[in-house]
Structures are given as C-alpha cells and as structure tokens.
Amino acid sequence: MDISLDNGWQILPIDGDTGTAYMAVNNDERIFLKRNTSPFLAALSLEEIVPRLIWTKTMVSGDTLTAQEWMNGRSLKREEMCSVQVSQLLYRMHHSKLLKKMLLQVGGKTYTPDDLLAQYFTNLSSDLRKHPLLMRVVARLREDMPRLESSNYEVCHGDLNHKNWLLSESGQLYLVDWEAVRIADPALDLSMLMCQYVPRKDWEQWLTRYEGKKPSADLSARIDWYAMINLLLVIKHNYERGHFHEMNQDIIKLSQFIKNKNNNAKHC
C-alpha cells in the first residue's frame, strides 16, 4: 500500500504484522500508523487504555489511516500478568460506560454462552463429537449455562495474551490488538487470563483484587463455565490444524480442570 505523509516523514512497515501497521519516522520523532482501524480506537484512547490517538485521515484509496503516539516499551512477561496493574486496567475497561456505548455504536458484536456453544459445534468433527470427556463437558456446560442479563454484558478484549499488554518505559500499561473485541460477560475475559496465568490456588485472591471485594459464587461459576468452553474451542482449533500433540495436552488440561473443580465442590 502506498502511504505518504508530508514534511519529510519516512514510512516503514512493522515486521511481523499483517501489512496494516507502520512506523513513521521524522528525525527523532516517531508515530505508530495503522490502516483501517475501528472508530472504537478513539474511545480506547480517551480512556488511556491504548497509546494516545493523534489523528485520523481518509486516504485517496478510501482507506482510513490512524496515527498514535509511539511508545517505547515491552510486552508483559507471563509472571507479570498477576500484577495489580493488570487487574486494575482490566476492571476499568470492563466497567467503562464510554467504551460500551462506543462499541455498540460502531456495531460491536455481542457473544452469549449459546453463541460460544454454537461456535464449538459448527463443523465439529465426528472424532471430537464422540469423545467421551468432551461429551461430558458439553453436557455439563448445557446444564450450568450462565444466565447473566445482557444489560450486564461489558466490553471484552477477547485475546488477553501477555504479548498484547504493552508496558511503556515510563511504567504506563496499555492493552493493544483489539481485533477480537466484543460485548460479553466479563467472566469470558477473566477466564482467558486466569486459566493461562494465575495458579488456581490464587484465583480468589486475584479476583478480590480485581473487584475490590471477595468474588461472588456466581462470578466464580461463570468463570469456570467460560474456562471450559474456551478449552473446547482451543481443542477444536488444534484438531482442525492437525496439531494433535497440542490438542491432547489441552484435553489433559480440561480433564485436570474438571477434577480440580469437582474436588473444590466437595470441600464446600
């Protein structure tokens, strides 16, 4: 794509991206450019969840180009995902009326538990459909499906991998890469993060820090539900790509999750 800026700016593609992100350089000044970003970026910038939005332009081609403040920094390490900064930013994002209003205005999709189950069964192979453990998990998911009112759904990032958290040199934390953003039960995001990065024994402590109070039994149950459906979707994803070793590891992880959940229930 031919991108040009006035006053001596040099445009460089960013390695490893999908061809939509660039760095613009003019002497010692840098800005981050991205093509065809959602208007939702403006709200994220106002809430200081992403680096500051500088301007938006429509190109001759019809593409939209956005410029953001360039941040020198690094992605979070896995062990840093348990930090107070992460839980505070996530809570602020999940409870932002501005973000929810803007995402609805630009046509953000809403995901319900029924939608996620339907996604799992769409073109599901007979091997997975007949797998005994997966069949038991699906039956359990149908029986225990969360019924949170849609009015309590919030903006969810949808991909809380540690590589999507940017810590600037000044210590400011940002959350980037919003391609999977949706309106959903916040427990969907929480389950993704906690299953990947927070030891099970520390879940209550992490949630207490996130909410500012001891988590309710309903929230904990919803997190468990979304954790199981997420594992099913990952298992399906790996099966479809022929990554059978990874798929089997996730099946073991799901089995262990069910075992731990049952043991916790016995101790209640």
pLDDT tens, position by position, 202-216: 999 999 999 999 999
93 and 187 assigned to the same domain: yes
Digit-coded pLDDT (tens) for 120-135: 999 999 999 999 999 9
Confidence band for 101, pLDDT divided at 50, 70 and 90: very high
52 and 160 assigned to the same domain: no
* Residue 40 CB neighbours (<10 A): 20
Is pLDDT above 80 for 196?
yes
For the annotated catalytic residues, the residue numbers are: 159
The overall average pLDDT reported for the chain is 90
Helices (H), the chain: 40-46, 84-94, 97-105, 113-121, 126-129, 132-143, 186-197, 203-211, 217-240, 244-266
For residue 234, is it within any domain? yes
Tell me what the mean pLDDT of segment 190-201 comes to. Answer: 92
The whole-number pLDDT of residue 26 equals 80
150 and 178 assigned to the same domain: yes
- Enumerate residues 6+ apart whose C-beta is below 8 A from 18: none
Q: Which amino acid is at 27?
A: N
158 and 36 assigned to the same domain: no
Q: Taking the model in full, what pTM does it have?
A: 0.86
For residue 29, is it within any domain? yes
Digit-coded pLDDT (tens) for 46-66: 999 999 999 888 877 888 888
Is pLDDT above 60 for 268?
no
Give the H/E segment covering residue 155. strand 154-156
Distance from C-alpha of 86 to C-alpha of 106, rounded to nearest angstrom = 26
Give the structural domain span for 30. Answer: 10-70
In total, how many domains does the chain have? 2
Last residue within a domain, chosen from 25, 44, 70: 70
Tell me what the mean pLDDT of segment 171-192 comes to. Answer: 95
Helices (H), 50-199: 84-94, 97-105, 113-121, 126-129, 132-143, 186-197
Number of residues that this document lists for the chain: 268
For residue 109, is it within any domain? yes
89 and 199 assigned to the same domain: yes
60 and 106 assigned to the same domain: no
